[in-house]
Amino acid sequence: ALVVKQARELGFKGGFIIMDQAKLDEMSRVVGGYATLEGAIGVMPVSEDTKPANQAFVKRFGQMFPGRVPGSEAQWNYTAVHATAKAMQLAGTYSDAKAIHAKLNDAYKALAPDVNPGGVMGVDDKGGTLTTERGAAVKDGKIEAVSTVK
């Protein structure tokens, strides 16, 4: 965020490509709003994602942690805990890691949207989560969804 701020102070008028860990919404709080980030493109902030399950998650998070805004790590970890518990149920064990891991893909697929607000679709053969990333751009000082699928 401070690099963007300084670039603007030095007269840079172009856009920015923001990596997923930088988080557009967190950067906007540092630089005083989205206007400074005009033209930036990155990952859709959890706080700006308008999907109903996501907005419900943001609201519940804010009720549990007043004054705080969830980032993607909170969302993904929240879902992973639910998926792990579901995988334990499906595997019929809480101690056999291999059996639990074998059921993780089915567990993610069985989750309701309220505990899977980011829409994790399953896991790959190494256990990595499968998602459809949602892009975002800052246009006219506001976040706008950008399709990342061709």
Q: What percent of the chain has pLDDT over 70?
A: 98
Pair of tokens at residue 46: 């959890």
d(CA 137, CA 102): 38
| DSSP secondary structure, 89-100, as one string | HHHT-SS-HHHH
Q: Is 23 left (phi over 0), alpha (psi -120 to 50) or beta?
A: left
Strand ordering across the sheet containing 142-146? 41-43, 135-139, 142-146
Q: Say if CB 16 and CB 36 are below 8 A apart.
A: no
Pair of tokens at residue 95: 């101690």
d(CA 26, CA 72): 11
Domain regions of the chain by residue span: 2-44+134-146, 52-130
Q: Could you report the per-residue pLDDT of 87-118, keeping only the tens digit for each?
A: 999 999 999 999 999 999 999 999 999 999 99
Segments of the chain with pLDDT less than 70 = 148-150
